[in-house]
């Protein structure tokens, strides 16, 4: 979610919570730095509620955790239910702050003290925990699971290619690019296993099987497969065992792709009646998946005062470097939210093929001498201005009105 700052106005108690699987350690500080609480806490709603409500006797409480999700989710939920404000201290900021404080021990008690001290003395280091929105919270869970499935699918595809190269490089070359992951190729390998199974069945039977399965492009692929099989007569040792694994891996990839498709439908249903989803997909180049990525990253955009803040968070705003008179210039940012940056980049590139305004802007940047990536970043940066305005006002995208250029005399 967006890097929204935490409101610390009126806070009387800053409670740092170093969360753990079975137990946390809490350190609560008053405004003058006095320790009001410094003990271990079990991962238990009753004990957490008792501590949070007890601290509220001193005034408003801010609970800051180092992990707001997974093992810290219960603590965050209990703190909110008790009426406490909740914040999150990113790991990098916590490590840098720990280096500035006396001592170099690594204990739960010291980590909790570092979190509480940062919250008290350096509130700008804190970030807000995910918005209290059931839709966005559910979207985050589904998106995280989809990322896991995508990584597993990529690993399986690489494994499948490696197995094919090991026993028949020519056959692997037939499945170039994304051809290996289309339904026909996966069904073929899951059914026949590999070169031995394909030879045993013969071209005629494989053709008949493929036609019954109602796939497209059957003849061309099968012709190329059997042409490749004719160019290798030797059998590599271990082929029989490898072919059984090929069939299993191909079936696994099919299952993963099917699960990702079901997950995409769930995300689509989840966002179907979410107002900002319709706002985003009204923009050329933004589909359901890109809209989900943007919403997951920035929510309703209220965390960003200006579009420039959003561009900086996405990592598509240039970074200035200046030191005296010797170093002066700007360079592309290497930081930022990578998922958001990729989503904006992809949508800008897609829009340059389907939207006249985006296409003209991209071509103008290319004519100025910019390379492809730099030319796409320019409309992506401009998209930040438009998306920021659309989300803040809830208005749909409308193309810019054509300018009336003066005609030549």
Specify the CATH number for the domain of residue 230.
Answer: 1.10.287
Classify each residue of 149-160 as buried b or exposed e, where b means 16 or more C-beta atoms within 10 Å of its C-beta.
beeebeebbeeb
Band (pLDDT 50/70/90 cuts) for residue 405 is very low
Residues 239 and 147 grouped into a single domain:
yes
pLDDT at residue 408, rounded to an integer: 40
Classify each residue of 275-284 as buried b or exposed e, where b means 16 or more C-beta atoms within 10 Å of its C-beta.
ebbebbbebb
Residues 244 and 326 grouped into a single domain:
no
Which position has the higher pLDDT, 267 or 25?
A: 25
Residues 60 and 91 grouped into a single domain:
yes
Band (pLDDT 50/70/90 cuts) for residue 304 is confident
Find the Cα–Cα–Cα–Cα dihedral 387, 390, 391, 394, rounded to 10°. Answer: -160
Nearest 5°: the CA angle 189, 192, 195 is 85
What does pLDDT average to over the chain?
A: 87
Band (pLDDT 50/70/90 cuts) for residue 407 is very low
**Does residue 83 sit within a domain?**
yes
Residues 187 and 249 grouped into a single domain:
yes
What is the residue whose two structure tokens read 């003990």? 39
Overall number of domains in the chain: 3
**Does residue 99 sit within a domain?**
yes
Cα–Cα distance for residue pair 88/97, rounded to 1 Å: 14
Three-state DSSP at 127 gives: strand
Res. 298: pLDDT tops 50: yes
Structural contact between residues 73 and 52, judged by C-beta atoms closer than 8 angstroms = no
Res. 131: pLDDT tops 60: no
**Does residue 398 sit within a domain?**
no
- At 159-190, the pLDDT tens digits run 999 999 999 999 999 998 888 999 999 999 99
pLDDT at residue 313, rounded to an integer: 86
Cα–Cα distance for residue pair 303/297, rounded to 1 Å: 11
Q: DSSP per residue over 253-314, as a string?
A: HHHHHHHHHHHHHHHHHHHTT-HHHHHHHTSTT--HHHHHHHHHHHTTSTT-SSHHHHHHHH
Residues 145 and 250 grouped into a single domain:
yes
Nearest 5°: the CA angle 378, 379, 385 is 105
pLDDT at residue 84, rounded to an integer: 94
Most trustworthy range by pLDDT among 129-133, 319-323, 343-347: 343-347
Band (pLDDT 50/70/90 cuts) for residue 274 is confident
The sign of the CA dihedral 374, 376, 379, 383 is negative
**Does residue 110 sit within a domain?**
yes
**Does residue 332 sit within a domain?**
yes
**Does residue 16 sit within a domain?**
yes
- At 73-122, the pLDDT tens digits run 899 999 999 999 999 888 888 888 888 888 777 899 999 999 999 999 99
Res. 403: pLDDT tops 60: no
Res. 300: pLDDT tops 90: no
Which position has the higher pLDDT, 277 or 11?
A: 11
pLDDT at residue 105, rounded to an integer: 77
Q: What percent of the chain clears pLDDT 70, i.e. is strictly above it?
A: 91
Cα–Cα distance for residue pair 135/271, rounded to 1 Å: 7
**Does residue 135 sit within a domain?**
no
- At 376-395, the pLDDT tens digits run 989 999 999 999 999 988 89
Range of the domain at 312: 276-393
């Amino acid at each position: 979610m967006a890097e929204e700052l935490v409101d610390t106005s009126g806070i009387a108690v800053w409670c740092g919570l170093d969360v753990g699987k079975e137990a946390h350690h809490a350190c609560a500080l008053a405004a003058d730095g006095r320790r009001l609480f410094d003990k271990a806490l079990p991962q238990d709603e009753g004990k957490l509620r008792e501590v949070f409500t007890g601290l509220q006797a001193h005034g408003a409480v801010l609970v800051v955790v180092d992990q707001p999700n997974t093992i810290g989710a219960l603590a965050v939920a209990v703190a909110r239910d008790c009426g406490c404000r909740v914040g999150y201290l990113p790991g990098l900021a916590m490590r840098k702050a720990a280096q500035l404080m006396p001592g170099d021990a690594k204990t739960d008690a010291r980590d909790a003290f570092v979190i509480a001290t940062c919250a008290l003395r350096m509130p700008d280091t804190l970030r807000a925990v995910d918005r209290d929105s059931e839709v966005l919270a559910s979207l985050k869970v589904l998106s995280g699971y989809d990322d896991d499935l995508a990584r597993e699918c990529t690993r399986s595809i690489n494994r499948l290619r490696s197995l094919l190269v090991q026993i028949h490089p020519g056959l692997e070359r037939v499945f170039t690019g994304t051809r290996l992951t289309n339904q026909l190729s996966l069904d073929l390998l899951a059914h026949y296993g590999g070169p031995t199974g394909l030879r045993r069945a013969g071209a005629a039977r494989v053709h008949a099987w493929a036609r019954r399965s109602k796939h497209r492009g059957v003849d061309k692929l099968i012709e190329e497969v059997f042409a490749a099989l004719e160019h290798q007569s030797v059998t590599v040792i271990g082929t029989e065992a490898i072919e059984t694994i090929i069939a299993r891996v191909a079936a696994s990839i099919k299952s993963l792709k099917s699960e990702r498709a079901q997950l995409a439908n769930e995300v689509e249903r989840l966002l179907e009646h979410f107002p900002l989803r319709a706002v985003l997909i009204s923009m050329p180049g933004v589909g359901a998946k890109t809209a989900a990525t943007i919403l997951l990253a920035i929510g309703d955009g209220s965390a960003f005062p200006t579009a420039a803040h959003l561009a900086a968070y996405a990592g598509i705003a240039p970074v200035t470097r200046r030191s005296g008179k010797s170093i002066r210039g700007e360079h592309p940012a290497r930081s930022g939210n990578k998922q958001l940056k990729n989503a904006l980049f992809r949508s800008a590139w897609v829009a340059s093929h389907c939207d006249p305004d985006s296409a003209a802007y991209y071509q103008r940047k290319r004519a100025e001498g910019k390379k492809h990536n730099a030319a796409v970043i320019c409309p992506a940066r401009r998209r930040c201005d438009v998306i920021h305005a659309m989300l803040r006002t809830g208005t749909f995208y409308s193309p810019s009105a054509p300018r009336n250029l003066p005609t030549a005399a």
